[in-house]
Structure formats: structure tokens, C-alpha cells
Structure 1
């Protein structure tokens, strides 16, 4: 049953969490700490999004400058890597280390004549998370950890007066705390984890060589992850993830004062539900659905999506102390409207019928 669950948790990366709220690319799951004994894993994922729209309106105007003009695909493909290792110290204490890339963005509007043509933006992060799990006698575990995270960002926005900005890499520290309950005889586990926000101050060079410091705070989040056996060799699993994106703002000092470079009006809650099945001692598989509602209103020109519905299918092959998990995800990205002046209520771009495909592979070893 553990192998079946591994097939699921490994595919969160393949699902391409960047299509969830904000600039999220992983769910910051701590599932590795529940592996038996000593364990290490390496995960690779590749995501191919397709996000395009057209200029809104029928007659060119200051708020609708390119009606009917296609934006072209503005979301670049990207890859993800993560590594994790977990050690059992004794019957009560486990410790683990996870290295991943929790936040990211790759924006590149092609030159189509659309008002945002030529705009590019990139955000990269790396996080190193140390986790400790202390098991109490009553099947309850207490979880705690520290996270060191780096963040860097650049952007070039021709339609905002040729604005450019480069934010140098900065490090920040956060923490996680949680609690879990397990009932091994029915493969039941419920884990609740809180991830703190992390504050950064990027040394920034803006248009014309102006220098400044740009504060960025990656959002706090709460994960509820669960699984339970429902029949012989069959497991139901799922998660609920809340992220406070309404507090995430990138607003360099010399960006035009009418709005921030990046901001979000709403927090997000993402739901995942699936079923796993063990077919033999060597093979198990899983399928899951994920959903995040559309909030409406306007989306950022650098992230014109709103909500999503996805399906993930995966399988795990186990032999001796090794297990290999592979999977594929398809995500229907929610429709969105963009604007050049939110207060006007006038859309400048309309993005419809977009999608993403992700594939992922994870190799794990028990030792």
C-alpha cells in the first residue's frame, strides 16, 4: 500500500503546480518523512503549458489597444528537479531533508503585435527543508522543520514605458510545523502541515540603472494530506492546500505607481482526490483529479490564468529496495481576462481554452 501512495505523491510535480494559484510549482509536501526506515529519492518533471489569448474589444482604444490580435503562447516550457532523503534515528524519531524549487515563472510573449508583445519575466527559487518527526505512543506524530529559500527575478515590460528590472538572488528562512495521525492496519494517515511565509529583500536594478531594494514575501500555506485503505490493495487519497496569495506582491520602487508588477486579489484552495491500486508485488498505479476554482476578476498580464481542473495517471514499479514511479498529467487551465487599468473594469486581453501537460519520473531507494 505504501508503494501505491508513492505513485501518487510523486506526481504532484508532473501535474505542474505552476498552474495553481500564483507562481507555485510544488505543494511543499512532507510525504517523504513517512517512508519506512532509511530512504532517498530523486524526481524529475517536465511541464509544457499552452497559454494564449487575444486582445479584447472591437475598436482600438487606450484600454483596448489591440482588439482581436493574438497574443501567441506566452508560457514557456520548464523542468523541475527535487531530491529528498529520510533517516530513521530510532523508533520514535525520523529526520529528513528535501531540496526543491517551490516557486517559479517563465513568461515570454512572442512578437505578434499584441499589446504585451515582447514582454518577458522569470522567477526562480530553491528551497532546502529540514524536517523532524517525533512519534508518540498513540499513533500521533509531531512534525517540525526549518526551510532556507533563495529567490531571484527579472522582467522586461515594453508596454509599460520599456520598463526593465533585475532582482538579484536573496535568501530567507521559514519554518513548518504539523501533526499526523496513522492507523497502519488500514493504511490510514492524516497529516496537517503549516508552512510559514518567507521574507526576501532583493537588490534591484531598474530601468535607467536605478537601484533599489524590493521586498518579496512568499506566502504562508496549509496542507491537509490524507490516505486510507478502502479494500484489499486499494487506497483512497487526497489533499486540500490553502495558500495566502493575496499577501504576495512584487512592487519595485520605480515601477509605475498605478499598480504592482505582480499581485493577486485572492487566496487559493486546491483540492485533490484519487484512488490507488496494487496489482502485484511489483506493480501499482493511481489516478487522481485536482481542482482549483476560478476567482473571476482580472488576472496579471504576466500570469493570465484563473483556476484549473487536472487529471494525473501514474504507475510504480518496485524491485528489491528500488521503486520507480512515472506519470503524466493533463491540466485544463481556467479562462482569464487581463487589463491595463483594473479600476476601469475594462478588459485588455481574453485568454481561453488553455492547457498544460506534465510528465514526471521519481526513483527511490530504501537503504
Structure 2
């Protein structure tokens, strides 16, 4: 059972969230801090998103189809963990926690065609873990993240601002912190870990371009959400593990108020409209022999509020199934996973005005992780 304990996090996370609530992509995992001994890993995941809808006929009698607005995106990750002594260990984690890739074809929706949104992030988390004894430990550290992006608004839904608007969000970095506690019973592979991640506030410089061709250099403050992750696992039979987790994220604090466009519109214009969410995971892992293990997990994201969403993130919750497999030989571990996500139906509603329905959409993710104990 102990042999399986250290591999479960890799199996559970290898295929990563395909498109989580809001802009959330990785769930900010810290499981590497619980790996046995000294350890390093590298991971890659790719997600293909099938995301399409139709204009509401009350606004567009043709009910124009949007075409596929979901762009494929890739994610990279890495981690390093080292034992400093019998009680203290250190981990360094790289992930890409937040992102969006949406592109409405100009030949599709009459109301949103030409609208695009792209945002990327990179984060490095430095953690320390202190073990009081075999069962109790605490962990915590700092997180530094950088974010940049670009949004282009176009189509009939934006006639009030001239039908075209662009804003570039210049890259900016900021710090946050992480703290948590864990309880373990190694004899039955039981571990429960509670981790809090603080919100991180960014001061972005913006470059706004309006329909007239006029430009403005402005700035705004934006927060990424605070979150709480509860992860657990326990042995339930020989070489068999039950695992799961709950993640809460306060996405409602994330906004993008654009000063130049707000002045033009005569009101505060927020381009991001997200709701808080809970994401639940439950799965089972099985060690088949000394080399091979596998896992199966179900994921459900429950999002607050109604199904009126920003056109830049036109989904509302999701359900997913994830299959992972792991091969271990000597000190090397190779994990792979596939995940199918059924995206929740939503109504794209710029400024709170429902314009386009999104239904029956999904995404498929593939992931690969290589780990090495030394």
C-alpha cells in the first residue's frame, strides 16, 4: 500500500483540468510535497475543446451558428521536491493555473463574430513541509505568478461601443501565499490535506483601441481568486486506493474593468463575469503489479449563479471522467491520462444581455508526466 501511496497524485492529475470553472485550469496542486524521498517531475497536457452555440433568434432571426469558438490549448508543468532532514522538506512547483483561449469566427455569429480572448499565466510556488510526527504535518510557502492577455470585442452585440474594441493586458507579476495542514496514517495509506491559496492582486497596464482608431494607455487592478483544496486518499483493499477532493475558488473577485471603455460607455465596464465554484473529485486507484497501476476518477464542477456568462468563457460548470495509467521501472515513473469533459450549457450575455446559447459542448484532454526519484 505504501508503494501506491506516492503515485496516486500523479495519476489523478496527469490529464489536468480540461476547462475548469472560470479561468481555472490546473487547480493549483501541491501533491508533490508528499512524494517519498527526493523527486523531480515534468508534465505536458493538451486539450481539444468543441465549443459552439447559436445566436438567439429574438436578436438574430437567422439564429446564426457561432462555429467552434474553443481553441486547443497546451499546458506545461514541473516540480522538484527534496528532503532537507527527517522532518523538513522543500518543493518547487511550476504550473500554468489560469488561462482562456476563445475565438468566434467572423463567418459565424452575427452578434459575436470576431470576438476573441486569450490569456496566459505562469506560476512558481515554493513550499516547505514540516512533519511533527508520522501523522501530522503543516505546509506553506509563497507563490509568484505572471499573467498577460488580449481581448477583442466585435459583432452586433457591441454596437453601443462602435462594434469593435481591443484591449491588450500587458504582462505583470505578483505574489501570494499558500498554507495547509495534513493528517496521515501510513499503515492504511490514508492522507487528508487541506490547503489554502490566497488571492493575488495584479496592477495591469492596458492598451485600449476603439472603433474610431483612437488609443488609450490605462491601468486597472485585477485579482485571481483565493481557493481551498481538500484532498484525501485511503486504502480500501489490498493494492486498492480510494481518493478524491473538493476545491472551492472565489472566481467572483476576478474582474477586468477597462477605464477607457468605461469612460466611453458612461458606466463601469467589466469584461469578466465569473461565479464562485466547488469542484468535486472521486476516484479509485489500483496497483496491478510492481510496474503497472491505473486510476479512474469522476469530476463535477458546481458553479454558483445562473447560466448567464461572459462570451469570453461561455460554459457553466462541467462533468468529467478521467482515466490514468502509470508505469514504474527502477527510479523512473511514466504516467499518462485521458479525460473527457462534458461542458455545462450556458448563455453568452455581454453586459448581462443574453445573446447566444451554448449547448452540448465537450472537451478531450491528454496528459503525460515523467517522474524520477533520486
Q: What's the TM-score once normalised by structure 2's chain length? A: 0.92
Q: Is the 8 A contact 1:8 1:287 kept in 2?
A: no
Match of 2:88 in 1: 93
The SS at the match of 1:163 is: strand
Task: Give 1:67 shift.
Answer: 4.5
Task: Give 1:197 shift.
Answer: 0.5
1:208-287 to structure 2, matched below 5 A, reads: 208-255=214-261, 256=265, 257=267, 259-264=269-274, 266-287=275-296
Match of 1:357 in 2: 364
The SS at the match of 1:263 is: coil
Q: Is the 8 A contact 1:4 1:316 kept in 2?
A: no
Q: Is the 8 A contact 2:11 2:326 kept in 1?
A: no
Match of 2:144 in 1: 148
1:50-89 to structure 2, matched below 5 A, reads: 50-57=50-57, 59=58, 64-65=59-60, 67-89=62-84
CA–CA separation in structure 2 for the residues paired with 1:45 and 1:92: 33
Match of 1:14 in 2: 15
The SS at the match of 1:33 is: helix
CA–CA separation in structure 1 for the residues paired with 2:13 and 2:309: 24
- 259 and 298 in structure 1: CA distance in 2 versus 1, 3 angstrom threshold: farther
Aligned length: 357
Match of 1:164 in 2: 166
- 7 and 190 in structure 1: CA distance in 2 versus 1, 3 angstrom threshold: closer
Structure 1 residues not aligned, in runs of 5+: none
Task: Give 1:148 shift.
Answer: 0.7
CA–CA separation in structure 2 for the residues paired with 1:180 and 1:84: 20
Task: Give 1:297 shift.
Answer: 3.4
Match of 2:343 in 1: 333
Q: What's the TM-score once normalised by structure 1's chain length? A: 0.94
The yes-or-no answer on 1:126 pairing with 2:127 is no
CA–CA separation in structure 1 for the residues paired with 2:258 and 2:242: 45
Match of 1:312 in 2: 322
- 340 and 40 in structure 1: CA distance in 2 versus 1, 3 angstrom threshold: closer
Task: Give 1:4 shift.
Answer: 6.4
CA–CA separation in structure 1 for the residues paired with 2:153 and 2:350: 13
CA–CA separation in structure 1 for the residues paired with 2:4 and 2:165: 50
The yes-or-no answer on 1:46 pairing with 2:55 is no
Match of 1:117 in 2: 113
Q: Is the 8 A contact 1:13 1:25 kept in 2?
A: no
- What's the CA shift string for 1:222-259, capped at 9, x where partnerless? 00000000000000000000000111101111234364
Task: Give 1:151 shift.
Answer: 0.8
- 225 and 337 in structure 1: CA distance in 2 versus 1, 3 angstrom threshold: same
The CA RMSD measured in Å over matched residues stands at: 1.6
Structure 2 residues not aligned, in runs of 5+: none
Task: Give 1:9 shift.
Answer: 3.8
Match of 1:291 in 2: 300
CA–CA separation in structure 2 for the residues paired with 1:263 and 1:253: 16
Relative contact order higher in (CA < 8 Å, ≥ 6 apart): 1
Moved more, 213-222 or 255-264: 255-264
Task: Give 1:93 shift.
Answer: 0.2
Task: Give 1:13 shift.
Answer: 5.3
CA–CA separation in structure 2 for the residues paired with 1:49 and 1:4: 32
